[in-house]
Structure 1
Amino acid sequence: MVGTGVFTSLGYQIIDIKSTFVLLMLWLVGGIAALCGALTYAELASRLPRSGGEYNFLSQLYHPSLGFVSGWVSLTVGFAAPTALAAMTFAAYLDSSVSHLVSVNRMTAALALVAVVTYVHGRNHKASGGLQNWFTVLKVLLIVGFVTLVGTTVEAPQTVNLLPTDGDGTLLLSSAFAISLIYVNYAYTGWNSATYIAGEVENPSKSVPLVLIGGTAVVILLYLALNAAFLYAVPMAELEGRLEIGVIVAQQTFGSTGALVMGGVLSLLLVSTVSAMLMAGPRVLQVMGEDFRLFRRLALRNASGVPRTAVYTQGGLTILFIVTSTFESVLVFSGFILGLSSLATVLGVFVLRYRCGVDRQAGSYRTWLFPLPPLIYSAIMIWTLSFIAFNRPQEAAIAAIIIGLGFISYLLTEKYSAIERKPVLKQ
């Protein structure tokens, strides 16, 4: 989860929102939505423990066509676009931190990162898991250290209001808040990643819910602390519209030498994000290859059990996005289409319970405080997506075209591929 969004979004949010309370509420509301989604996904993952995430859930809960479209979205946009954004941000931070020493070609740096990580994840589980674990631990420790240093060394701190002031209520209900939530929701993208590799996890019925809920709760705290530190250290006017928020804050707080070190460190954090996406995304492609003969090559595994073809395919698509797309358009578009997919999946828990009732077996997971989590998540997501559809119709239209092409591809694939039906819902 922790990566591109939290290190880039604040500059765009400040353009329309000048209240520190409302800005922090963005991250809290987005976190609550992600946590409610995680609570719901945990039940789905516990009862439908197969890799593939939304592809698996939607196929079994609704119809294989919806699962296919979700997989199609993952194939064309869902993982490649966020991975590209993370790699582009890595390159931007790296360039900003060392620009006074050496010139860095941002596109070359982003492409090199994707190529190296793709190769590592295509080797074996040990190399793949080891890379991800080490960079995740390093990421959390460095964020905590960064927030602590900023909080204790800033000489001219800015006022950060933790309570609302005049006009904040209007801002909370404005279109600016709703549209900014798409950036925040994007920053929380990844809270559901454990469901994409459920088939490769020991005891997924217990492990996956723990990972989903625990990981999301930790990230909410990290995001609130990090954004509070950004707002505490630098005037909002200096952050407005800027991409490299972390480097700007480090420059103001630690000087040019500190900015060099922290900029390099923050760029390294994004390696973990690129790694996570290139580890989870190919599992969706792999499961599609298992179900649809037309994509069977994506299901092929090497001697270590890694779906190498799917990993390399994901890496290739990511490189294509880096070469052809701009940052903001990819962020809004991918955030919108991923929001639609997760919304349909969260609502699927009601379908699951209607068709099969509640799983009361010992050790099974049931969504806490049901039905509040899926209802809260759905309400926040519908509100956000509606504002985006009205205010950013171009991105919404492109998303609709991608989904339409997905249904067309399903019909063509059904015609030329034999589907291997998988076991259905637990009774």
Structure 2
Amino acid sequence: MTHTSQGSYKASTAIAVVIANMIGTGVFTSLGYQIIDIKSTFVLLMLWLVGGIAALCGALTYAELAARLPRSGGEYNFLSRIYHPSIGFVSGWVSLTVGFAAPTALAAMTFAAYLDSALTGVELNRMALALALVLVVAYTHGRNHKASGGLQNWFTLIKIILIIGFVLIVSATVSEPQAVHFLPDAGDGALLTSGAFAVALIYVNYAYTGWNAATYITGEVDNPGRSVPLVLIAGTSVVIVLYLALNATFLYAVPMEMLEGRIEVGVIVAQQTFGQTGALVMGGVLSLLLISTVSAMLMAGPRVLQVMGEDFRLFHRLSIRHADGVPRIAIYTQAALTVLFIITSTFESILVFSGFILGLSSLATVLGVFVLRFRQGKDQQEGDSGYRTWLYPMPPLIYSTIVIWTLTFITLNRPQEAAIALAVIVLGFISYWLTERVSR
């Protein structure tokens, strides 16, 4: 994969950001939770297909928004220009507090756990490992676009190769394969519409989080109006295929009861297939996969802080660029917040809480395409780039329906996390009001 030209990222790097943002902890940790209430291989695979369809529908919609409203910042940029600066500010506030820092911390913590499990006989401090990864990656991204893009491209390429290799080797060598049904059995229809399916979809949607990553660096991608839609769609499609292949492999290699309620799914499958040595190797492999995830989040998240700094005088220092346009202060700020989460948070609370709050933000953004289309009839000067959402209005409607369904079940089943998320949003509006007053 090639490096970027100085001062911007190529489309290949943007695709790498999308893929690496999506393929992180979720696909290697969530199947064990899903099996607790769902014992059908067909329904389990449908979970990943439905989640993938939702992500692809979201990507198709975001592609239009990115083409018509080209600027870095993702939801912050879209919501500010579609609705009101206060809505965008709250989205930026969410990104500042939990949107990127929390998932980055989660990926770094899992990296440390897998690496520690792989290096038997060596006593490692997991927190120190997670912190070291964040600091090294943040420093690299803060240097320049060439170093940043090179790091992202190579570790994402390694990630894809390792996943394909894992799927092929496990499928070829498993001694006692399990039955995996690609067609529904009796009772599967009821499972597909059950509350258990909706709750399990929370974890799947979290695993797909990141399909919108390229919109955070739009302003630094070559020819964004043309490139970003292709990047979003290509990156998301690749991940859907990899996720279905990985989960089919997990279910093919190991009996469900061995995975039920377990978080280290990849290691368990490797241990059963290759023995203890294989499990140790798998731990090391998974830790390598997560480096690109941490890298992608520390590349995308700071761009939200950067554009907020451009729009709000109080955050001006976050907008300062160094070394051919890299927002170094924003990158180091994001890293500092990630470090704070690593020191203070736990795995599951981060997963559910950040999944809920990011779902709300993306839902408001996807619904914004209807607002833009309506406004276009009144104001032809609104962005008029050529790309329009394929099969409109089906993609935004499908995405919105799935996300609303999921958020409803989170609210009913995990009210504490939902309440904390809503409290963060309220604090965001208060912060906007205070910021406006200070700026005036």
Tell me if both proteins adopt one fold, taking TM over 0.5 as the criterion. Answer: yes
Residue 147 of structure 1 corresponds to 167
Q: Distance in 2 between matches of 1:119 and 1:303?
A: 12
- The structure 2 residue matched to 1:368, chosen from 367, 387, 390, is 390
Residues 92-133 of structure 1, C-alpha deviations (whole Å, 9 max, x = no match): 2112222x3322222121111111111111111111110000
Q: Is the 8 A contact 1:96 1:244 kept in 2?
A: no
Q: Is the 8 A contact 2:68 2:385 kept in 1?
A: no
Q: Distance in 1 between matches of 2:356 and 2:363?
A: 11
- The structure 1 residue matched to 2:417, chosen from 395, 408, 423, is 395
Normalising to structure 1: TM-score of the pair?
Answer: 0.95
Q: Distance in 1 between matches of 2:291 and 2:76?
A: 26
Secondary structure in 2 matching 1:380: helix
Q: Structure 1 residue 209 and structure 2 residue 249: aligned?
A: no
Residues 28-72 of structure 1, C-alpha deviations (whole Å, 9 max, x = no match): 000000000000000000000000000000000000000000000
Residue 18 of structure 2 corresponds to none
Residue 4 of structure 2 corresponds to none
Distance 1:208 1:359, change over 3 A: farther
Q: Is the 8 A contact 1:76 1:317 kept in 2?
A: yes
Q: Distance in 1 between matches of 2:89 and 2:385?
A: 31
Which sits farther off after the overlay, 199-208 or 161-170? 161-170
Normalising to structure 2: TM-score of the pair?
Answer: 0.93
Residue 3 of structure 1 corresponds to 24
Q: Distance in 2 between matches of 1:107 and 1:175?
A: 36
Q: Is the 8 A contact 1:96 1:247 kept in 2?
A: no
Q: Distance in 2 between matches of 1:326 and 1:148?
A: 33
Q: Give 1:401's aligned amino acid.
A: A
- The structure 1 residue matched to 2:132, chosen from 92, 105, 112, is 112
Q: Structure 1 residue 73 and structure 2 residue 87: aligned?
A: no
Q: Distance in 2 between matches of 1:64 and 1:239?
A: 46
Which sits farther off after the overlay, 298-307 or 391-400? 298-307
Aligned residues between the structures: 417
- The structure 2 residue matched to 1:159, chosen from 179, 196, 206, is 179
Residue 111 of structure 2 corresponds to 90
Q: Give 2:240's aligned amino acid.
A: I
Distance 1:64 1:148, change over 3 A: same
CA apart distance, 1:216: 0.3
CA apart distance, 1:361: 10
Residue 7 of structure 2 corresponds to none
CA apart distance, 1:165: 1.5
Q: Distance in 2 between matches of 1:44 and 1:327?
A: 33
Secondary structure in 2 matching 1:15: helix
Q: Is the 8 A contact 2:67 2:385 kept in 1?
A: no
Distance 1:262 1:286, change over 3 A: same
Q: Is the 8 A contact 2:95 2:301 kept in 1?
A: yes
Q: Is the 8 A contact 1:123 1:304 kept in 2?
A: no
Q: Is the 8 A contact 1:247 1:259 kept in 2?
A: yes
- The structure 1 residue matched to 2:302, chosen from 259, 269, 282, is 282
Residue 421 of structure 1 corresponds to none
Q: What percentage of aligned pairs have identical amino acids?
A: 79
Residue 357 of structure 2 corresponds to 337
Residues 351-403 of structure 1, C-alpha deviations (whole Å, 9 max, x = no match): 00111148999971010000000000000000000011011100000000000
Secondary structure in 1 matching 2:36: coil
Question: Structure 1: any 5+ residue segments left out of the alignment?
Answer: 419-427
Q: Distance in 1 between matches of 2:209 and 2:381?
A: 28
CA apart distance, 1:240: 1.4
Residues 289-326 of structure 1, C-alpha deviations (whole Å, 9 max, x = no match): 00000010111111331111110110011111111111
